[in-house]
Structure 1
């Protein structure tokens, strides 16, 4: 059995590469999907596909529609969603992704430090599991594959 994992949440650091590397070291049969983490590509995709927009708001709306399409398709292909709610960045994407995953009936593992218990309490309440770091999330996924 393989699991498809969508890596949701903040996009401005390399936490996804850390997850992938640690999963590989543990020989976990996981395939990963993720949002577009190239910020410029994500911001410009609307105009690339739909043409020049009249102002920055329309440019953002066009990009958002295409990025939301991508996210929904990849999240639907996933068996589980890992969402990181971290210390350093605004977390709108993590909150939205958790809501989308729940709406799609996907189990969610929320990674958030204990210090962010209060601002992440609603997301935590909707997740199947709340952990404080990547290692705990991967340990939980590893447990799924145990047979004895």
Structure 2
């Protein structure tokens, strides 16, 4: 049984590649989807599709419409969501995506460092599983396939 996993979280580091490589090494039958990882394209997609916008606010709004469309479609198709909260970047999109997944009834694995326990306690309690590392998230995914 192959599962589709939506990888929600910041797009500045290579955490998605780490999950994909480790899942492949474990031979887990998973496919992965997620937000546009090319930050420049994500920021410019509104103008790429709709044309030049009058100012930065309109440019951001147009890009956000298209990025939200992408997220909605891919998350709806996903069987499970992994939402990573890192320590370096603001995590507004991660919180929004994790909350949307929970509202849709999607199973959620939340990855967050121990230091973010307090600000994420309510979200952690709504997620199915909260872990601190990518490796722990992969062990949780592996457990789905264990037979003994």
Could you tell me the TM-score, scaled by structure 1's length?
0.97
Q: CA deviation at 1:122?
A: 2.2
Q: Deviations over 1:44-65 (max 9, x none)?
A: 1001111111110000000000
Note the residue ranges of structure 2 that are not aligned, 5 or more in a row. none
- In 1, the alpha carbon distance for the partners of 2:122 and 2:88 equals 19
- In 1, the alpha carbon distance for the partners of 2:60 and 2:121 equals 29
- In 2, the alpha carbon distance for the partners of 1:30 and 1:101 equals 18
Q: CA deviation at 1:74?
A: 0.4
- Counterpart of 1:145? 145
Look up the SS of the partner of 1:32 in the other structure: strand
- Counterpart of 1:47? 47
Look up the SS of the partner of 2:93 in the other structure: helix
Q: Deviations over 1:5-25 (max 9, x none)?
A: 000011110000000000011
Q: Deviations over 1:48-99 (max 9, x none)?
A: 1111111100000000000000001000110000000111111111100111
Alignment of 1:111-130 (within 5 A): 111-130=111-130
- In 1, the alpha carbon distance for the partners of 2:147 and 2:33 equals 26
Alignment of 1:1-148 (within 5 A): 1-148=1-148
- In 1, the alpha carbon distance for the partners of 2:44 and 2:28 equals 35
Contact 1:110 1:131 in 2 (8 A): yes
- In 2, the alpha carbon distance for the partners of 1:104 and 1:49 equals 28
- In 2, the alpha carbon distance for the partners of 1:122 and 1:95 equals 11
- In 2, the alpha carbon distance for the partners of 1:60 and 1:137 equals 32
For the aligned residue pairs, the C-alpha RMSD in angstroms reads 0.8
Contact 1:85 1:120 in 2 (8 A): no
- In 2, the alpha carbon distance for the partners of 1:146 and 1:122 equals 29
Note the residue ranges of structure 1 that are not aligned, 5 or more in a row. none
